[in-house]
Amino acid sequence: MTMATSPRRVVFATPPIYQAPLPLEVHLPMIPQGPAMLAAVLRARGHHVACYDAYERSCRERLFDPSAFAAFLAAEAPDWIGLSVYSDGFPAALSMIKIIKAVLPKSRIVVGGPHFTLFPDAVPPEVDFVVVGEGELAMPALVEGEIPPISERTQVSFVVVATETDTPFDGACNFDFSVVTGDVNTRPAQTLHAVGAHVRPAENGVSRVIVMEGRLTNDILGRLPYPAYDLFLCAESKYQFDEPALGLDGPMLNLNTSRGCSYGCSFCSVEGVWGKAYRWFPSTWVVGLVTELKRKHGLRSVFFREDEFIMGPRAPSAWREGAEGRDDVLALAYGMKELGITWAIENRADAFGSQERAQGYFKTLADLGLKGVFVGVESASDTVRNVILNKHLSETAIRHFFEWAHAAGVRTVANIMYGVRRIVNGVLVSDSPQDWLDTDALLSQIRPTRVDRYVYVGVPVSPLYMDHLKRGDYEFVDTNGYLYPKGFTDIARDIYGDDAEMLPLPGKPNVRVGPSLLPGIPALAQRHHELRDRVTAALAQLQALPTMADVRVAQLYRHPSSLAGLPGILDDLDDAVALPRVPSAIIAEITKLYHPGDKPRIVRLAGGPTFALATLRTPSAETVLLAARLDHDPSQHEAIIAFVRGVAALLNDYLRARFIEAHATASDVDHISHAKPRMHAVQS
C-alpha cells in the first residue's frame, strides 16, 4: 500500500438526530459505518483523521451544539471535511456546511452517504465534491490529489491492486489503487478489479460529482482495514449497547457486513443506493473484527444490521447440499460460536434456504449462537405484502419461520406496516382496517417477541414513494424528501395512540421542559378569534428585534399522538422560501391554517430575526412549525415566548409543544430532550 507523501488532516462528521414524525426518529445511534471505514482507510495511508458524530452527541446531550462543532473544527484544523449524510440529516448537514465554511473557509468539503447518492445535485456550492456510492477509493483519491480537474464529464477508473496475498483479510489495508483517466488499456500485476466511475460538474456549476459506477468486490471489501471504531467509542458514548428483544446483552454493537439486496420491495430505497448486486465482507474479516472488539471493548453480542443478512451467494448450503465449505454465513456463525459471541440478524422470513433445507439451516444457526431475528411480516394480507409491497413472501413461509424460532428459542421482532396503497394495473389497491384486524389475528398466532408497528412514510426514490409522488397522494413532503401519504395523521393516531415509548411528548419522565411554557399552553386554549391580537402583537415585537445568533425551534402538534409535522430546521432558515418583509403576510399564513385545502408552505420574514412558519391543513391535521433566532439579551426572550404561546393557543387544547435544537439562555424556555429511542426499521 502506498503511504501518502503529504499527509493531510481530515475530519468526518455526521448530522445530528432528526425529529421526524414517528417512526423515523426512533433509531438508536449506531456507529456510522461509512465514516468509520473511510477513516480507517485514510489513517492506514498515513493521514490524520478525527470524527465528530453529531447524531450520537445529539442523542446523548439532547441537543446539537453548533459552538461545540465549531470548536472541534478549529482545534482539528482539517484540510478536508467529509460529511456522511442520510436523508434524515439533510437540513442539518446544510447548516453544518455553513459552520464549516465560517470556521475553516479554506478547507475542502466532501459530502456522501445515502442522501447524496440519491440526490447528488442537492448540494450547495460551498461543497467541493460529492461522492455517489462507495467512498473507500474516492475519498483517499481526493485527499491525495488523484482526481483530475474537470470542466465536463470525464470517465475514470480506480485500478485496485493487491498488496498482500498470504493473509489478505486480516484487518490491515491490503490493497492499493491508481486513478486512470479514460479506458484502462493495461493493468498492473496483482490487479484485483478496475472500478469504473465518472466525474462531472454538479448542477450548481461549482461542485464536482464523483459517481462510482462499479462496486467493490468481496475480495476488495475483505482487504479494507477494520473500521476506526476507536474514534467513536468512549466512556460517554450512547450507542446502542444492547437489544433485549432480540436476546442480546451488552456490551453489544451493530455491525453491517454486507451491501445491497436483490429482492426489490416497493417501499425500500436500497436498490437506489446500492443497486441490486449483493456484496459482503468475507467471514474471516468479520470474525477478526469481532475478535478485536471483544479484546478491546469486552464485546459480548452483535446485531448484524443488514439490508439482508442471508442471500444465496453468501449462504449456498442453505439452498443446496454439499456447499457447506463455501458458505460464508456458516463460517461466520462458527466463528461467533468459538468467540462466545451471541448475535442477531435482520432477515426475510423466507430467506433461510430452500423449502427442504431452511428449517435445518435455521436450527444450525440457532445452535451456533443466533439469538434473535428482526423480520418484516408487514401484513396478514397477501395483497398488501405481495401486490402493494412487492415482498413475494407467503403467509406459509411466515408461519414456518415463527414455528422454527419458537422451537429453537430464538427471539423475534416483527415489523408491521399500515396505510399502504399503490396503483396496480390501473387500479388503486390499498390496505384496510379489516387487513389490520387480520394482521392482529396473525400476530396472536405467530407470537413474536415484539411487534414494531409502522405507519408508512415514503422513503425517497423507492417505487412506492414514486407512485405516491406521481399521483399527488400525500399530505406533505418534508424538507428531507420523506413523503407522508394522505391520511397519515389519522392512521398514526390510531396505531401509535399514547404509547409512552413511541411518543416523545412533554409529559414523559425523560423529557425536560422549562417550567413556564407548557403550563401556559392550556391556559391560552381559547377561541381562535380571541387570540389573534396576541399573535399580531408578538409578531410586531419579533420583527423589531435585531438579527441574532442562536436558533430555537418549537414544534406544535394538534394531537398528542399525531406528530404529523414538517421537520425541525436545526440551525439556519435562510434557505426557506422568502416572502416580503410584511408582518401581515405572516399573519395571513396563520389565518389560512383554518381554511381547508391549503397546501403546506414555508415562509420567512426577511431581514432582522429570521423565522419560518410552515402550515398544514387537512380535515384531520393542523401543524405549525416555527423557529426564531435569539441572542443572549433576556429582554428579547419575551417576544418569542409570547409568539410561541400565541400560536399554541390558536391550535387550542390539543396542542403539545416541544423544542428540538436549542441553546437555552432563558429560564422560561428550556430545551426539550428527545424521547428514549426504540429500535425501528424503516426498511425491513
Cα distance between residue 408 and residue 37, in whole Å: 35
* Lowest mean pLDDT segment, chosen from 58-72, 82-96, 556-570, 638-652: 556-570
Question: Domain 240-420+433-455: which topology?
Answer: TIM Barrel (3.20.20)
Cell numbers given for 127: 461543497
607 compared with 403, residue with greater pLDDT: 403
pLDDT reading at 195 higher than 60: yes
- Report the alpha-carbon distance of residue 170 to residue 167 in Å, rounded: 6
Residues 125 and 206: beta-carbon distance below 8 Å: yes
The closest alpha carbon to 326, from 311, 336, 341, 314, belongs to 314
Buried-state track 188-212, b at ≥16 Cβ within 10 A, e below 16: eeeebbbbbbbbbebeeeebbbbbb
Q: How confident is the model at residue 107 (pLDDT cuts 50, 70, 90)?
A: very high
**Dihedral through CA 587, CA 589, CA 591, CA 594, nearest 10?**
-160
The three grid cell numbers given for residue 409, joined into one nine-digit string: 428459542
Q: How far apart are CA 486 and CA 114, in angstroms?
A: 26
Is the pLDDT confidence value at 630 over 60?
Answer: no
Return the C-alpha torsion angle 631, 635, 636, 637, nearest 10: 90
Which residue, among 74, 13, 14, 91, has the nearest Cα to 661 in the 3D structure? 91
Which has the minimum average pLDDT: 24-28, 299-303, 411-415, 673-677?
Answer: 673-677
Main-chain dihedrals φ then ψ at residue 580, nearest 5 degrees: -55, 155
Could you state, in order of their start, the residue ranges of all structural domains in the chain?
A: 9-222, 240-420+433-455, 517-659
Q: In this model, does residue 375 exceed pLDDT 70?
A: yes
Task: Give the whole-angstrom CA distance, residue 231 versus residue 531.
Answer: 52
Q: What is the mean pLDDT of residues 409-418?
A: 94
Rounded to whole angstroms, how far apart are CA atoms 268 and 415?
14
Lowest-confidence region among 55-59, 133-137, 514-518? 514-518
In this prediction, residue 3 carries a pLDDT of 65
The residue-averaged pLDDT of 574-584 equals 28
Return mean pLDDT, the chain.
Answer: 74
* pLDDT band of 480, cuts 50, 70, 90: low
Helix, strand, coil % over all residues of the chain, rounded to 5: 35, 20, 45
CA pair distance 142, 472, nearest whole angstrom: 41
Q: Which of 264-273, 362-371, 563-572, 590-599 is predicted most confidently?
A: 362-371
| CA pair distance 128, 120, nearest whole angstrom | 12
**Radius of gyration, alpha carbons of the chain:** 26
pTM reported for the whole predicted model: 0.72
Q: Could you write out the three-class secondary structure of 332-381? A: HHHHHHHHCCEEEEECCCCCCCCCCCHHHHHHHHHHCCEEEEEEEEECCC
Asked whether residue 681 carries a pLDDT value surpassing 90, the answer given is: no
What fold does the segment set 9-222 form as a domain?
Rossmann fold (3.40.50)
pLDDT at 289: 97
Q: Which of 232-236, 297-301, 455-459, 663-667 is the least confident region?
A: 663-667
Q: What percent of the chain has pLDDT over 70?
A: 69
Ramachandran region, residue 236 (left: φ > 0; alpha: ψ -120 to 50; beta: rest): alpha
| pLDDT higher than threshold 50 for residue 202 | yes
Q: How far apart are CA 399 and CA 529, in angstroms?
A: 57
- Give pairs for 97-106: CB < 8 Å, separation 24+: 97/124, 97/126, 97/127, 98/126, 98/571, 98/572, 99/66, 99/69, 99/70, 99/73, 99/571, 100/73, 100/126, 101/126, 102/70, 103/70, 103/73, 103/74, 104/73, 104/74, 104/77, 104/78
**Does pLDDT of 565 surpass 70?**
no
Q: Which cell goes with 412?
A: 423475534
CA 446 to chain centre: 30
Q: Which alpha helices (DSSP H) does 119-269 contain, by range?
A: 138-143, 218-222
Which pLDDT score, from 0 to 100, does residue 276 have? 76
Predicted local confidence at residue 275, as pLDDT? 75
Which class for 135: exposed (0-12), middle (13-18), buried (19 or more C-beta within 10 A)?
buried
pLDDT of residue 372: 96
Render 257-273 in DSSP notation, one character per residue. Answer: -EE--SS--TT--HHHH
* pLDDT attached to residue 476: 75
Burial 93-130 (b: 16+ CB within 10 A, else e): bbbbbbbbbebbeebbbbbbbbbbbbbbebbbebbbbb
Nearest alpha carbon to residue 310 among 267, 361, 265: 361
pLDDT for position 604: 29
Amino acid code (one letter) for 579: L
* H or E stretch at 252: strand 252-255
Task: Report the C-alpha dihedral over residues 202, 208, 212, 216, rounded to 10 degrees.
Answer: -150
Neighbours of 234 (CB within 10 A): 8
pLDDT of residue 344: 97
pLDDT band at 605 (very low <50, low <70, confident <90, very high): very low
CA distance 621 to 280: 44
Decide if 624 contacts 563 (C-beta within 8 A): no
Give the three-class secondary structure for 404: helix
Closest CA to 220 of 166, 290, 147, 168: 168
User: How confident is residue 609, by pLDDT bands cut at 50, 70 and 90?
Assistant: very low
Instruction: Note the pLDDT tens digit of each residue in 314-354.
Output: 999 999 999 999 999 999 999 999 999 999 999 999 999 99
Cβ atoms of residues 539 and 583 within 8 Å: yes
Highest mean pLDDT among 8-17, 175-184, 600-609: 8-17
